[in-house]
Amino acid sequence: MSAPTEEATGAPAMVEIRSVHKSFGAVEVLRGIDLSVRAGEVTVVLGPSGSGKSTLLRTVNHLEKVDQGWISVDGTLVGYRRSGNKLYELREREVLRQRTRIGFVFQNFNLFPHLTVLENIIEAPVAALGRPRKDAVASAERLLARVGLADKAGSYPKQLSGGQQQRVAIARALALEPKLLLFDEPTSALDPELVGEVLDVIKDLAHAGTTMIVVTHEIGFAREVADTVVFMDEGRIVEQGPPADVLDRPAQERTRAFLSKVL
Amino acid sequence: MSAQTETHAPSLPAPPDAHAGESAPRIVPVRRTGRWAAAVLVLLLLAGALVSVVRNDAFQWDVVGAYLTTDSVLRGLGLTLWLTGLVMVLGFALGTLLAVLRLSGNRVLQAVSWGYIWLFRSTPILVQLLFWFNIGALYPQILGISTVNLLGPVTVAVIGLTLHEAAYAAEVVRGGILSVERGQLEAAQSLGLGPWRRLRRIVLPQAMRSIVPPAGNMLIGTLKGTSIVSIIAVQDLLYSVQLVYHRTYEVIPLLLVATLWYVAVTSLLSLGQYYVERHYARGTAGTR
């Protein structure tokens, strides 16, 4: 086990995942995952249900604890402090501070239904970062304009379509100005005609150089936006590489079988 | 333009036995004779009961009127009201604490909360009140002060009712917290919100939708339930009218005085519950 280092290839690694294992009871969901994500790159994780891809994403901001291995984001271990050859679990307060630098977008949006769109977005900057309310409101309005919802600040989430809710959720994650954005199947709960508007927002973020890990079933999106495509099955990474390789010339039989079903 | 759109309008299929050129057939609802008959019968029975109540002199409505707003009755009503309010506030504060302990990750705290709820729900409130009233037999002195002087009947009433209330409130609050989707907590955690902020700002406001209806039930139950303190000589609404009828033997009219007040206050509380529920329903589909 080596400490987080800079990749030899040039750009520093924003995320490093090293031999991560995770079990739920007797079921081993992650069986030794190694993955690096360089700053400014988009990594798309594909794989069948139960392949462990959502669990992997949730370990990156410590919503799930790992059983073995370690994960670092921007050079800092997530959820642990290293001393000698031991990893000490951090206190919740410290984990919460780390999470403010890692944005997470959920499949089911998880907007706070009793708060307006604006209140949803400014909640974390004000409460977790202690930013003045006025500044938080101003930047929330800029973010809403960026996701095309400038006129919805006073609405409640349930008054919006699924696509609009997910765009608000993205704005809420961006409000903390995270170094890394994690998307857990961001379009899976949407009606088909609403998928495009959410993917467009994510593409814009990709073009702006945001570091992202996106778990999705949208192969077309992966082909267009991903710098790296990772294919997972049964808790392992089967293969990874540029989309042109993994999607069009997969080296592994398992990847070919999956792609033939979803394409 | 209108002529053009008409030609494009889809034509409705005609009903099977309709003739061309006829206007749309009128719809005739079913006659509900039985429903009307039942309504008339019930109204007659109610009217009969009302007449008998009004015309039966034994109800002594003049006495009811005479005592309804006397000072001692109003003082009793006042005590019932503030005792109810205080017990609800303290009971729900302690109940929320118990619910949070029960849902915490600490096994010992979980067990303590469970044990508390088990104990206080397992014994009648009457027994609990008598127990606290006689606590001096177990602990003649508390902090060097004589227990009997420290704990007067009113203090005993507040303590006894609150501890009992808290056990039920804990379960109501716990049910409310559990009704909030798990994703809400995860979203709050992923945004870096601390535990206290998550509870106060995210979880409890959403839990309130499930808490308010049973809490309204408990409030009304507690208002009436405080009448039990009359057995330890606390002058609430019921005890105030009892004091009068022990003197005058006008039992029924004075019980009616208490009844009218209980009904009036619970009616107001039910109305209040409607508005509180509407407040906490904000942001849910179908409102605004």
Rounded Cα distance between A169 and B189, Å, is 14
Rounded Cα distance between A172 and A103, Å, is 9
Cα–Cα distance list, A232 to A50, A199, A258, B14 (Å)? 10, 22, 10, 59
Residue A261 sits at φ, ψ, to 5 deg, of: -85, -35
Between residues A142 and B30, the one the model is more confident about: A142
The model's confidence at residue B139, banded by pLDDT at 50, 70 and 90, is confident
Task: State the pairing for strand pair A228-233/A42-46.
Answer: parallel
- Which pair of structure tokens corresponds to residue B277? 């529920």
Which residues of chain B have a CB within 8 Å of the CB of A156?
Answer: 282-283, 288
Burial of B225: CB neighbours in 10 Å, binned 0-12, 13-18, 19+: middle
Residue ranges of alpha helices (H) inside chain A are 53-60, 92-99, 117-127, 133-146, 162-174, 195-207, 219-225, 243, 253-262
CA proximity to A258, closest of A235, A234, A231: A231
Q: Going residue by residue through chain A (263 aa), what tens digit of pLDDT does each one get?
A: 444 444 444 557 899 999 999 999 999 999 999 999 999 999 999 999 989 999 999 999 999 999 999 999 999 999 999 988 888 999 999 999 999 999 999 999 999 999 999 999 999 999 999 999 999 999 999 999 999 999 999 999 999 999 999 999 999 999 999 999 999 999 999 999 999 999 999 999 999 999 999 999 999 999 999 999 999 999 999 999 999 999 999 999 999 999 998 87
Rounded Cα distance between B98 and B84, Å, is 20
Cα–Cα distance list, A46 to A3, A40, A51, A239, B223 (Å)? 28, 20, 9, 10, 60
Q: Using the beta-carbon criterion (under 8 Å), do B192 and A96 form an inter-chain contact?
A: yes
Between residues B145 and A10, the one the model is more confident about: B145
Q: Transcribe A55-109 into DSSP letters.
A: HHHHHHTTSS--SEEEEEETTEESSEEEETTEEEEPPHHHHHHHHTTEEEE-TT-
* Cα radius of gyration rounded to whole Å, chain B: 29
CA proximity to B197, closest of A112, A79, A175, A135: A112
Query: CB-CB: which of B183, B194, B201 is closest to A110?
Result: B183
Rounded Cα distance between A115 and B205, Å, is 10
Rounded Cα distance between B287 and B283, Å, is 7
pTM: 0.81
- Which pair of structure tokens corresponds to residue B183? 């994703």
CA angle B137, B97, B223 (to 5 degrees): 65
Which residues of chain B have a CB within 8 Å of the CB of A99?
Answer: 189-192
* Residue in A with minimal Cα distance to B284: A158
Task: State the pairing for strand pair A228-233/A80-83.
Answer: unpaired
- Which pair of structure tokens corresponds to residue A126? 């004000």
Who's near A11: CB < 8 A, 6+ residues apart?
Answer: A38, A39, A40, A41
CA distance A181 to chain B (A): 11
Size of interface A-B (CB pairs under 8 A): 76
- Which of B104, B186, B190, B206 to probe by mutation at the A interface, max A CB count within 10 Å? B190
CA distance B193 to chain A (A): 5
What pLDDT does residue B55 have?
86
Q: Using the beta-carbon criterion (under 8 Å), do B283 and A114 form an inter-chain contact?
A: yes
Q: Using the beta-carbon criterion (under 8 Å), do A110 and B184 form an inter-chain contact?
A: yes
The model's confidence at residue B20, banded by pLDDT at 50, 70 and 90, is low
pLDDT tens digits for range B85-116: 999 999 999 999 999 999 998 999 999 999 99
Rounded Cα distance between B50 and A244, Å, is 87
- Which pair of structure tokens corresponds to residue B161? 């009712």
Rounded Cα distance between B52 and B175, Å, is 46
Angle between helices B107-122 and B153-178 (to 10 degrees): 120
Q: Using the beta-carbon criterion (under 8 Å), do B288 and A157 form an inter-chain contact?
A: no
| Three-class secondary structure of residue A22 per DSSP | strand
pLDDT at B268 over 60: yes
Q: Using the beta-carbon criterion (under 8 Å), do A113 and B192 form an inter-chain contact?
A: no
H or E stretch including A18?
A: strand A13-24
- Which of B181, B186, B191 to probe by mutation at the A interface, max A CB count within 10 Å? B191
| Residue where the block lists tokens 């609430």 | B236
What pLDDT does residue B281 have?
83
pLDDT tens digits for range B240-264: 999 999 999 999 999 999 999 999 9
CA proximity to B252, closest of B241, B243, B262: B241
- The amino acid occupying position B196 is W
Which residues of chain B have a CB within 8 Å of the CB of A129?
Answer: 192
B237 touches B76 (CB < 8 A): yes
How much is the mean pLDDT over chain B? 88
User: Span B171-193, mean pLDDT?
Assistant: 95
pLDDT at B8 over 60: no
User: Span B152-170, mean pLDDT?
Assistant: 94
Predicted ipTM > 0.95? no
Torsion from C-alpha of B164, B170, B171, B177, nearest 10 degrees: 170
| Residue where the block lists tokens 């004779």 | B33
Q: Using the beta-carbon criterion (under 8 Å), do A158 and B195 form an inter-chain contact?
A: no
B284 touches B205 (CB < 8 A): no
Paired with A239 in beta bridges are A231
Who's near B105: CB < 8 A, 6+ residues apart?
Answer: none
Q: Using the beta-carbon criterion (under 8 Å), do A172 and B191 form an inter-chain contact?
A: yes
